[in-house]
Amino acid sequence: MNSIFDTKRFTRFEFLKNFSILGLLSLWLLPDDILDAISTQKRKVYLFSDYVAGFYYYQGESVLSSLQIAEPLVLERQSSNPYDQKAIEIFTQNKVKLGYISRNKNELPSAMMDQNIQLFAEVEEINLEANSWEKLKFRVFQII
């Protein structure tokens, strides 16, 4: 018997070749609305997590108990900062300043923001009992 599933002749290469051909055929047979949904589906790509730097010095304490896990935060580039030219401020959606992305993590996101690449942030962890520098953890991500 001479089929593609003949185990004596079915190599790994032949399997992958046939599998990829079947996969392409199945995509070709899908309705256009399903193909559009697959191609436009967005997902979060997490870049890093960190605690808010300078949390103690800004208004974070006043809103901490009202924040929720996964709540969106606003990132604003502050290239005119005299202490850190790569500074990125972190705000709540209501424009309450929480602090900054720490200096040891802001190099890549500041370069991305300078190139008009949109970055997003959200609350990852809230610990009301922790020291001020560990009360609010956030994560930065892209949507692609």
Alpha-carbon 80 to chain mean position? 26
Which residue's entry shows tokens 């103690």? 56
C-beta separation of 103 from 85 below 8 A: no
Write down the pLDDT at residue 42: 83
**Residue among 26, 51, 22, 52 at smallest CA distance from 38:** 26
Architecture of domain 44-143: 2-Layer Sandwich (3.30)
Instruction: Give, rounded to a whole angstrom, the gap between the first and last alpha carbons of the chain.
Output: 48
Q: How many CA atoms lie within 13 A of 131 on its CB side?
A: 4
Give the CA distances from residue 140 to residues 88, 90, 101, 123, in Å, rounded to whole numbers and listed in that order: 12, 11, 10, 9
Write down the pLDDT at residue 41: 76
Write down the pLDDT at residue 64: 94
C-beta separation of 96 from 45 below 8 A: no
Residues 6+ apart with CB under 8 A from 56: 132, 133
Which residue's entry shows tokens 């808010």? 52
Write down the pLDDT at residue 96: 97
pLDDT, averaged per 10 consecutive residues of the chain (144 residues), comes to 54 56 52 59 91 94 95 97 96 97 96 96 96 96 92
Q: How many CA atoms lie within 13 A of 15 on its CB side?
A: 8
Tell me how far apart the alpha carbons of residues 132 and 98 are, in angstroms, rounded to a whole number. Answer: 11
